[in-house]
Amino acid sequence: MKNLWNDKETRRFRNDPLALRVYTSRLLGREPDLVLHGGGNTSVKTTITNIFGDPEEVLYVKGSGWDLATIEATGFAPVKLDALKRMAQLKNLTDEEMVKAQRAAMTDPNAPTPSVEAILHAIIPFKFVDHTHADAVVTITNTPHGEKRIRAIYSDRVIIVPYVMPGFILAKTIYEMTKNIHWQKYEGMILLHHGIFTFHDHAKVSYERMINLVSRAENYLKKSVKGVPHKIPVGKVRNFYAKIVPDNLIELTRLRRAVSKIKGTAVLAKLMIEPEHIHFSNLPNVNTIATRGPLTPDHVIRTKRLAMIVDKNFASDVEQFVQAYRKYFKRHSNGQLTSLDPAPRWAVWKGKGLISFGSSIKDIKIVGDIVDHTIRAIQWAERLGGWRALPEKEIFAVEYWTLEQAKLKKGGKAPTLQGKVALVTGAASGIGRACVEALHREGAVVIGLDINKKVVEFKQDGIVGIVCDVTRGSEIKKAIETTVRHFGGIDILVSNAGTFPASEDIADMKPETWQKSLDINLTSHQLLLKENIPYLSFGIDPAVVIIGSKNVPAPGPGVAAYSVAKA
């Protein structure tokens, strides 16, 4: 675990504890082995002057929905410290009551909702508190004798807390555990199956304690685990393209359609075929190790509890996953909950790789990142005696936690075409570009093809430009296969590419003028349809749009080559 602290960078924050808190939070957030996509939280205790001119102690704690990697000062919620400490002394407090009480104690009502761990941050008697879900630490706790291993690694340097549901219950548990301890004796706190806390009155010390304690866990794994890479290679993409034949891509579109049907809305499906994905999908015991639970409970919101195992019969595999999820819900529901959709969020395609499912590019990226860290942790844990996630009852409690459900409901109504994949030719300019932008505004992922290299200049997330000569079937085929590998299928085809030749009377027309117009304005559309139809056949409400021309009903003089081809 690399220490990223820079004394020169922090000099300007000496008299601004919140700015320093932002700086160190971003250092933690930049390391995906510590936190992923909104995970973890940090805080700083300081004194402000209220509107009456009186000094008041507040806790600035990460607000819900913010990511440590990009957090700003406005991402921290200021909460009266005394109120939070008093909450820890209450005998009972429901999640809803806790959220209300914390918001009522905020000094800025426009700030984000405080983290559910705010009370816990408040009772830790140090100015700076850091909390991450470090892969190495959580992995070790997800093994037989995990607590014993943690004690061997850290001796008496950390407080060890058995798994407890996050929020008030966790804060209350730790409050009772630590009433009579001397916090100064400890460098951190390990929450089994959950994560790690470090703390100190100096931001640098708290940050460096996190780096050092996590590094000890990583070093333990390096010495104890053989045959599993310590870190998944980043940016080293090996070309497995040749192994993913078109027949497999057709199967991927079928699987995506089946998952979309179960979810009740279109989803994207990203085929993950880097070396580590291929390796994991070929493990002889992958059926069991991929279906024991997530790395940490908070991942269940993104990935569900289990992966779907895909072998030969897609329809049966999907149905089996759905039935298992419904039984899981029935086992743990109190009769007052409404089941979430039972669709999988990731799958192991045996022998071929992994698949991440999501309604947007952001969703499939988040799921993919979590899966990358999870499969590595699983393999580590297997070498340490076996992968043992939390019991499903505990995972269910987080998946159906009212506070987590509230986060999911904040997204609002989805765009009309969210989860759909559109392919547009002639996308670099004119009508094609306008189609790309219109489809993207409605939520579709759009792949734009054009022989003009400007097509790659789209900057919006969710638009991908590919240089392609649509008169060449091989280039069309390659572009389509790239699209399907990354997004799982094609639902909308806008066949638009065209050329408008210089005016020539029929009697004087050069042969190449006629042939070029036919090749681009007619034959290229036939080639495009030929290569797309096998994938469109398994699309979500598939549609084809062919862009015509006013020259068909009203041709002008000298444009026979164009008008005939367009007609």
Measured CA to CA, the distance from residue 487 to residue 504 in angstroms comes to 44
Tokens of 257: 């359609």
Select from 108, 462, 413, 93 the least CA-distant residue to 265. 413
Measured CA to CA, the distance from residue 358 to residue 273 in angstroms comes to 17
CB-CB contact of 28 with 130 (8 Å) = yes
Measured CA to CA, the distance from residue 432 to residue 425 in angstroms comes to 6
The residues, any chain, with a CB within 8 Å of residue 9's CB and separated by 6 or more, are 23
Helix (H) or strand (E) holding 26: helix 17-29
Measured CA to CA, the distance from residue 122 to residue 112 in angstroms comes to 17
Residue type, 198: T
**Torsion angle of C-alpha atoms 560, 561, 562, 564, degrees rounded to 10:** 70
CA distances from 534 to 425, 479, 481, 485 (A): 18, 14, 11, 14
Select from 253, 87, 75 the least CA-distant residue to 171. 87
Tokens of 260: 């979309």
Tokens of 99: 């959220």
Residue showing tokens 């405080």: 114
Select from 219, 176, 316, 329 the least CA-distant residue to 258. 316
Catalytic residue, chosen from 60, 175, 207, 562, is 562
DSSP state of 521: I
Length of the chain equals: 567
CA distances from 10 to 7, 44, 204 (A): 5, 16, 9
Residue 90: CB atoms within 10 A of its CB come to: 14
Select from 46, 41, 55, 265 the least CA-distant residue to 170. 41
What is the Cα gyration radius of the chain?
A: 28
**Does 241 participate in catalysis according to the annotation?**
no
The residues, any chain, with a CB within 8 Å of residue 319's CB and separated by 6 or more, are none
Select from 297, 134, 285, 130 the least CA-distant residue to 221. 134
CA distances from 132 to 140, 142, 287, 413 (A): 15, 16, 29, 32
Helix (H) or strand (E) holding 216: helix 203-224
Measured CA to CA, the distance from residue 449 to residue 432 in angstroms comes to 9
List the catalytic residues: 562
